[in-house]
Amino acid sequence: MPLRARQRCHAALTGLAALALAAVLATAPPAAAGAAADTWTEVGSDRADPLTESQGLASVEVPAGSPNRYTGIGTIPLGVAGRGWNHVGDPDTSYDGHYIEPYQRDDGNAKMFRVQAPDGRWSEYVHTLSAGEALNNSWVAVSPDGQWMLSGEWGTMNRLLVFPTPGVNPATSPSANLPQAATVRLDRAVRDVQGCDFLDATTLLCSSDDPAGTLFGITKPLLRIDLSAAPGGTADVTGRVTALRQLPLRSACSGAFEAEGIDYDRRTGTLRVIVVSPGFCVLTDSKTYRLTRG
């Protein structure tokens, strides 16, 4: 082949290769962007009891030396379940020692937050659903200043809900409806978020039970949400969502895992997340995984 013809052929092949690469990039699922900049590495695990440690967990700073707390079907008090609140989600604590559990029921138009004050007394705060709000109540995350609490809805969502923290924010009372104060508007959808916790005033880490993997290119992702400002008052904020990695999925059984609650212990820098094993192994090798930032 003459030189000029070879040059034209090479240019054409190069152009076709570039077009093919562009097509692949355009149709590929979204990458777990940001993983290199914010890497969380597994450093250990503990068995998660399926009755009492299968829904959520929270580290407790006040009083000093307090044990970590967990939720599961076996931690729901009989009196609470008898009134229809038959599901407890991922709890959180304020830095002054208030402990908050989210509850839902199978019907009705409300969700409930059960709060234990530092002196041990319990109280209940009921929130009447806003228009279009989902009934489920999977998790709570208390802001570092203690005054505001985030919660989320099941399914594919582009928002998080902001409430005054029950029992902490002086605007709340067990005898009054707990109102939604504001919204975190996400730049991209998330699916089946089971827990979130604050890394700092404007950063959340969340566990997603997403079984499809179409939103970020991986199933069961660990998500990071960077807020445009710390939640406060009635002003909405925006959140930029990044998938950091897939959560650990290991079991002697095959089948569908379930990612559950998450907790960041700022005293040790340890992130913990519950993953429930499939099938019979839910009883034997469900785990609370420990990760550290590196």
Sign for the CA dihedral angle at 86, 90, 94, 95 comes to positive
What gap in Å lies between CA 106 and CA 136, rounded to an integer? 9
Backbone φ, ψ for residue 24 (5° rounding): -60, -45
Q: Do residues 156 and 128 touch, judged by C-beta distance below 8 A?
A: no
Which of 206, 210, 272, 194 lies closest to 240, judged by CA? 206
- Is the pLDDT assigned to residue 25 strictly greater than 90? no
Can you tell me the mean pLDDT for 92-119? 97
pLDDT of res. 172: 98
Can you tell me the mean pLDDT for 208-228? 98
Taking only the tens place, the pLDDT of each residue in 173-211 is 999 999 999 999 999 999 999 999 999 999 999 999 999
Q: Which region holds residue 192: left if phi is over 0, alpha if psi is between -120 and 50, else beta? A: left
pLDDT of res. 64: 87
- Is the pLDDT assigned to residue 212 strictly greater than 80? yes
The two tokens of residue 43 are 């450093």
DSSP string, 70-126: EE-GGGS-HHHHHTT--EE-B-EE-TTS-EEEEEE-SSSSEEEEEEE-TTS-EEEEE
Using DSSP bridges, classify how beta strands 237-246 and 182-191 pair: parallel, antiparallel or unpaired. parallel
Taking only the tens place, the pLDDT of each residue in 53-91 is 999 999 999 888 899 999 999 999 999 999 999 999 999
Whole-model pTM: value is: 0.88
Using DSSP bridges, classify how beta strands 148-151 and 99-104 pair: parallel, antiparallel or unpaired. unpaired
Residue-averaged pLDDT of the chain: 90
Token look-up 């985030």 returns: 150
Out of 49-53, 63-67, 256-260, pick the least confident: 63-67
pLDDT of res. 35: 42
- Is the pLDDT assigned to residue 16 strictly greater than 80? no
pLDDT of res. 99: 98
Which of 170, 149, 147, 164 lies closest to 96, judged by CA? 147
Domains, in order of start, for the chain = 35-293 (2.120.10)
The two tokens of residue 133 are 């709000």
The two tokens of residue 234 are 């009635």
